[in-house]
């Protein structure tokens, strides 16, 4: 089972991930051409890039209004991408499969960062439960997505320390990671891609057309 999950099933996950994103992007562009042609009439590359830049970095009003939440969410997104990419065990697998290698995090640092990531996910879950403005727009699917994001970190942490059942935790770690990859194009996790489209559009709309900024 391990070889199947690491091999064919991983390829299926990557194919669904890439094909799903291409489909969603194509559908979005096609819909905008039909329903909102003005987006292209007033699009500004400079304003789009400025908008993306200010929202990727802590250079916007939200940070000033909600500093704790902003710091938490910035850390969440950095760790969500950074820990899996620079984890030593993952780097070894990349090298074994495709002879690709890069710098990796020290194992003890990655260990602590995984715990920090789990704490941040718990913070986001609690916030959705207790903050009225977050609770009102939260559905069961939002909680499930946070659990899906947490599972690769939790199972990876348990597998690294060989707690419970090492072989089972490794399998669950791979399955949960592949599940998250498959879900990205079809759930709110797709904002990792559509963020750039929406911010480019909003930046052009407010900057080019209205002469103001949103950050």
What is the percentage of the chain residues whose pLDDT exceeds 90? 47
Rounded-to-integer distance, Cα 107 and Cα 136, Å: 40
Q: What global pTM score does this model have?
A: 0.87
Domain regions of the chain by residue span? 12-209
CB burial of 173-205 (b: ≥16 within 10 Å; e: otherwise) equals: bbbbbbebbbbbbeeebbeeeeebbebbbbbbb
Q: Which residue has the higher pLDDT, 89 or 184?
A: 184
Q: Which CATH code of 3.30.70, 1.20.80, 2.60.120, 1.20.950 fits the domain covering 12-209? A: 1.20.950
What confidence tens digit (pLDDT) does each residue in 29-58 have? 888 888 777 777 778 888 889 889 888 887
Nearest one of 141, 142, 160, 140 to 152, comparing CA atoms: 160
Cα separation of 150 and 114, whole Å?
9
pLDDT at position 103 is: 82
- Give the H or E element holding residue 103: none
């Amino acid at each position: 089972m391990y070889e199947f999950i690491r091999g064919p099933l991983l390829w299926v996950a990557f194919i669904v991930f890439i094909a799903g994103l291409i489909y969603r992007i194509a559908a979005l562009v096609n819909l905008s051409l039909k329903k909102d042609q003005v987006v292209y009439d007033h699009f500004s590359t400079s304003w789009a890039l400025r908008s993306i830049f200010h929202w990727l970095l802590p250079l916007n009003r939200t940070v000033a209004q909600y500093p704790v939440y902003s710091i938490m969410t910035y850390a969440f997104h950095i760790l969500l991408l950074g820990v899996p990419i620079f984890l030593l065990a993952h780097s070894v697998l990349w090298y074994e499969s495709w002879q690709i290698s890069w710098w990796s995090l020290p194992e003890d640092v990655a260990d602590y960062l995984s715990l920090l990531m789990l704490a941040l996910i718990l913070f986001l879950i609690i916030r959705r439960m207790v903050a009225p403005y977050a609770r009102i727009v939260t559905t069961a699917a939002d909680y499930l997505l946070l659990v899906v994001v947490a599972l690769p970190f939790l199972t990876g942490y348990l597998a690294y320390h060989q707690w419970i059942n090492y072989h089972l935790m490794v399998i669950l770690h791979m399955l949960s990671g592949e599940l998250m990859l498959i879900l990205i194009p079809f759930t709110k996790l797709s904002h990792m891609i559509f963020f750039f489209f929406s911010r480019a559009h909003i930046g052009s709309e407010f900057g080019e057309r209205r002469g103001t900024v949103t950050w």
